[in-house]
Structure 1
Amino acid sequence: EPLHPGAQPTLLDTDGHRITALLTNSPRWHGPFLDARHRARGRCENRIKTLKNTGLGKLPFFDFAANQAWANIAALAFNLVSWLQLAALPHGHRAKAWDIKRWRYRLFATAGKIITRARRNQLLLPESAPEKDLLKLLLENTARLKQVLPPAPG
């Protein structure tokens, strides 16, 4: 197949083409179908890796109920970060491709201070915060989504 735009050629690529081989014992052999199935499996494995990095890699307690609560909180954190990437970031933003570790070290570790002035909460961030603009963008977009979405029943 021809190299995709921006792909780096390797030593084995010849004349701008990449040679790929697929060995399978699948009874249904159709190249594009098998390629799509393989890519879906890769996305699934990335989600599993992200869940492990969120907290499911090690269960810290001896008690089953405590580990169950830990797993629920880890799944909730994973869902919240996925939701932020899908709904609160504009299309093509660089943070959409970040894994959970980068979110944790670049964004969630940013120190800030919440103050109340004139009955309104404000978040103060230091000028030297590396992802200050991204945090402001996320807060603005989640506030905008809150206004657009219908209120929860009950």
Structure 2
Amino acid sequence: MRGIAGSGHSQFLDVLHRSHAGVEDRVRTNKAMGLDNLPSASWEVNCGWMLAANLASDLDAWVRLLTLHDIEDLADAEPTTMRLCLYHLPARLANHARRRWLRIDATWPWAQAFTTRWNRLTQLPPAT
């Protein structure tokens, strides 16, 4: 990087490589969320697929940031681990007395992490 003061120092190169590693991590996550395989030969269908995959990746990142920041196993988990632990929920949604009840299997090892995440999400202030 010619012309930038301090660009020959090891600290500058370390910061540059660390920021690029973060970008590569997000690209890898986006590929795992559906951008690895486009479903069609049609440009319009693939645009919709890319939009949906990017929305899923953004939602996953925000859920981690807002609700899973202090849960050690899940804060930096891969998308496949998140699918296994929290997104494929072994539960049943029931209606009773005009309310909805989510009945989670008590023996499921990630039940506490899911309820913590759910409680934190429902306690967020509404967007203005």
Preserved CA contact (<8 Å) 1:54 1:100: yes
Contact 1:89 1:141 survives alignment (8 Å)? no
Please tell me the residue identity of whatever aligns with 1:120.
R
What is the CA–CA distance in structure 2 between the aligned matches of 1:92 and 1:121, rounded to whole Å?
27
Supply the distance in 1 between the matched residues of 2:69 and 2:80 (Cα, whole angstroms). Answer: 21
Structure 1 outlier segments of 4+, above 3 Å: 90-93
Q: Which runs of 5+ in 1 are unaligned?
A: 1-25
Partners of 1:129 and 1:85 in 2: how far apart?
20
Higher relative contact order structure (alpha carbons within 8 Å, sequence separation ≥ 6): 2
Q: Which structure 2 residue ranges, 5 or more long, are not aligned?
A: none
**Which of 117, 121, 125 matches 1:142?**
121
**Residues in 2 aligned to 1:74 and 1:31: alpha-carbon distance in whole angstroms:** 37
TM-score (norm 2): 0.88
Letter in 2 for 1:31: S
Q: How many residues align?
A: 124
- Helix, strand or coil at the partner of 2:93: strand
Code of the residue aligned with 1:51 in structure 2: it is: N
1:105 aligns with 2:84: yes
Identity of aligned residues (%): 25
Task: Indicate the structure (1 or 2) with the bigger Cα radius of gyration.
Answer: 1
| Residue aligning to 1:129 | 108
Code of the residue aligned with 2:126 in structure 1: it is: L
Normalization by structure 1: what TM-score? 0.74
CA RMSD of aligned residues (A): 1.5
Give the aligned residue type for 2:83. Answer: R
